[in-house]
Amino acid sequence: DGGITQSPKYLFRKEGQNVTLSCEQNLNHDAMYWYRQDPGQGLRLIYYSQIVNDFQKGDIAEGYSVSREKKESFPLTVTSAQKNPTAFYLCASSLSRTGSTDTQYFGPGTRLTVL
Amino acid sequence: AQKVTQAQTEISVVEKEDVTLDCVYETRDTTYYLFWYKQPPSGELVFLIRRNSFDEQNEISGRYSWNFQKSTSSFNFTITASQVVDSAVYFCALSENTGNQFYFGTGTSLTVIP
């Protein structure tokens, strides 16, 4: 089945640790995105990538880093610099690299909790 | 300023009632796209519909219908004969032809009571 997978589903981190969230897609989509969702709020864009080896900061990139070495993979690292990382993280992808007007399809999400 | 406003934070209805979720957007682009997504308790956002700014025809898909009115910058979503499985958070989103991202509303949490 084509789709987007995220792992792990739940992740616990101690303060001061970096953690990496995985996102893989087999839809052959060019663009990929990372969003953060806090309780009762909408989605906020962290980073996006429209092509391999290129990515752009979104609205809340501080304390996060990404890489896009392969078309199908877009891992997100939550660094110790992120002051309040407890949240639900959603990865998405869309077909075209030429803009954001394509439909974005989402993975099942990773719930990160800092202990 | 919020580009997408979903003023209804939470709505509760009894099963089989009709319910309308409101979405108001703001953009200066003449070409833009509007979306609705459903987020069930599992967390994954499920795509429901995409409309472009040049197509104001209302759309119906089963029990779901959408009313797009450019004159009021609204893209409202109606569920007819609601069911318990419709309980979820629903998000409206906007993307502009000149931009690089989606703008999501804050979501409306719908609870359908059996």
A45 contacts B43? CB cut-off 8 A? no
pLDDT in tens, B14-25: 999 999 999 999
Nearest by CB: B43 against A33, A56, A108: A108
pLDDT at B100 over 80: no
Q: Does pLDDT of A115 surpass 90?
A: no
Hey, what amino acid is at A56?
Q
Check if the beta carbon of residue A95 is closer than 8 Å to that of residue A30. Answer: yes
Q: Which residues of A touch B30 (CB under 8 A)?
A: none
Place A9 in a pLDDT band, splitting at 50, 70 and 90: very high
Nearest to B47 among A56, A90, A103 (CB): A103
pLDDT band at B2 (very low <50, low <70, confident <90, very high): confident
Q: How many whole angstroms separate alpha carbon B106 and alpha carbon B91?
A: 7
- Provide the 10 A C-beta neighbour count for residue B45: 27
Pick B100's closest partner by Cβ from A41, A99, A107: A99
Cβ contact A103:A92 at 8 Å: no
Token representation of residue A115:
């202990």
Task: Give the model confidence (pLDDT) of B44-77 as tens digits.
Answer: 999 999 999 998 888 889 999 999 999 999 999 9
> pLDDT tens-digit profile of A42-58?
899 999 999 999 999 99
Determine whether the interchain pair A103/B44 forms a contact, defined as Cβ–Cβ distance below 8 Å.
Answer: no
Cβ pair A93, A73 in contact under 8 A: no
Q: What is the pLDDT of residues A72-97, one digit of tens each?
A: 999 999 998 888 899 999 999 998 76
Q: pLDDT, tens digit, for every residue of B79-94?
A: 999 999 999 999 999 9
Taking contacts as CB-CB distances below 8 angstroms, the residues of chain B near A100 are 95-96, 99-102
Cβ atoms of B34 and B103 closer than 8 Å: no
- Closest residue in A to B38 (Cα–Cα): A106
Share of chain B above pLDDT 90, in %: 82
CA A10, A15, A20 angle in degrees (round to 5)? 45
- Please compute the mean of the pLDDT values over residues A3-27 and round it to a whole number: 94
**Residue B96, pLDDT above cutoff 70:** yes
